[in-house]
Amino acid sequence: MDRVLRLPCVLLTGVFLVVAASAARADITAFIGTNTTPESRLARGFAVGAGLLIIGFEFEYSASSENTTSPVAPALKSGMGNVLLQTPFAIWGFQPYFTAGAGIYQETLGAFEETGFGLNTGGGVKVSLVGPVRLRIDYRVFKLGDSALYSPAHRIYAGLNLKF
């Protein structure tokens, strides 16, 4: 009797999962902000992501310029893969999230150049503006490798986010 019921149960469970699964959501963000370590300087970049309900994944690239005046601040480029934990929908137009990730960074200052592995954590909010356009505000802390000149590095940004 168990074998007779097993196949219909498996098929019914599969159909239920397909019907109940929510559609994947994707978005892209172009941002501008500031890298504040050891002093404020321009940071620019983009992020591309996708998610299901409360879990999301994204790739982000960011670059901040070098400052050779006092205090001296290195250029920092990073490419990170991140996991986002977010509300499944906007609440009063706000969708908060927490993120953590890992990737590669490159720090340069004059002749000094260091490329290595880094980690990041942070969070932010996506604010609904018009239709699929949102404002994204984000804060990150980057723990760079042992040879980095400045670690942790802090970055805050605002950007336009398009969900599709």
pLDDT of 7: 65
Is 11 within the bounds of a domain?
Answer: no
> Could you tell me the residue range of the domain that residue 77 belongs to?
23-163
Which one has a higher pLDDT value, 7 or 155? Answer: 155
Q: Find the helix or strand (DSSP H, E) in which 151 lies.
A: none
pLDDT of 10: 65
| pLDDT 10s digits, 12-47 | 666 555 545 556 689 999 999 999 999 999 999 999
| pLDDT 10s digits, 85-141 | 999 999 999 999 999 999 999 999 999 999 999 999 999 999 999 999 999 999 999
Closest CA to 115 of 105, 127, 124, 125: 105
Is 17 within the bounds of a domain?
Answer: no
- DSSP alpha helices (H): ranges in the chain? 2-20
Q: Taking the CB of residue 99, how many other CB atoms lie within 10 A of it?
A: 24
Is 18 within the bounds of a domain?
Answer: no
Give the Cα separation of 84 and 44 in Å (integer). 20
Radius of gyration of the chain (CA): 20
